[in-house]
Amino acid sequence: MKLPIHFVTGNPNKLAEVIKILGPEYMDKIKAVSLDLPELQGTMDEISREKCLAASALVDGPVLIEDTSLCFEALNGMPGPFIKWFLQSLGPEGLPRLLADFDDKRASAVCTFAFCPGKGQEVHLFTGRTEGCIVAPRGPQNFGWDPIFQPDGFTLTYAEMDKQTKNSISHRFKSLVQVRNYLEQELKQENS
């Protein structure tokens, strides 16, 4: 596998979180690249696969993309992969209002990483899910919808948690463990 892996993001917080979860040995193996990719509609897997293929067509080498969804049980999974647009329109304080008339505040935080080793090659998907509920915003409002998502078994929102705790239970963590296992196996096979 050709290195570095190009992680498609314009968000330095995401790159730092990815490296923190994957481990320090990935500091030199992954670099951020900001690409203007098309905004797609479809299922979480379809969007991730298509974004990864589009990125691999623009980058000379392996690419890793992330797509995050926040799925409200009462709304049959919406906003789902469209959470970015809901968040931009309503802000963290507006999202819980979508559930104001519902007793069911349960939600799933879903992170899908898609990896493609190169242009025209197979895309591999890695999905992590954390169950929780939607609450009124609590904690710093500097990382998306973290202030409104309270994981099951915790009294704190993602935003109120220290990074170490969040990074050990999050949907992103669960997905990245799968990515790390895959990359370790691929790199091991190349070196044998």
Terminal CA-CA length for the chain: 13
Does the annotation place 11 within a ligand binding site?
yes
Does the annotation place 118 within a ligand binding site?
no
Two structure tokens written together for 104: 């069911």
Strand boundaries in the chain, DSSP class E: 5-8, 30-33, 63-72, 79-80, 106-116, 124-134, 149-151
Task: Name the residue with tokens 């963290």.
Answer: 92
Does the annotation place 151 within a ligand binding site?
no
Does the annotation place 130 within a ligand binding site?
no
Two structure tokens written together for 14: 């995401």
Does the annotation place 9 within a ligand binding site?
yes
Does the annotation place 43 within a ligand binding site?
no
Does the annotation place 85 within a ligand binding site?
no
Does the annotation place 31 within a ligand binding site?
no
Does the annotation place 51 within a ligand binding site?
yes
Torsions phi, psi for 65 (to 5 deg): -120, 160
Does the annotation place 23 within a ligand binding site?
no
Does the annotation place 67 within a ligand binding site?
yes
Does the annotation place 146 within a ligand binding site?
yes
Does the annotation place 166 within a ligand binding site?
yes
Distances (CA, A) of 101 to 2, 9, 105, 147: 51, 35, 10, 20
Does the annotation place 162 within a ligand binding site?
no
Sequence length of the chain is: 192
Does the annotation place 172 within a ligand binding site?
yes
Does the annotation place 167 within a ligand binding site?
no
Does the annotation place 143 within a ligand binding site?
yes
Which sign, positive or negative, has the C-alpha torsion 82, 88, 90, 96? positive
Mark the binding-site residues for Mg(2+), compressed into ranges.
39, 67
Mark the binding-site residues, compressed into ranges.
9-14, 39, 51, 67-68, 143-146, 166, 171-172
Mark the binding-site residues for ITP, compressed into ranges.
9-14, 51, 67-68, 143-146, 166, 171-172
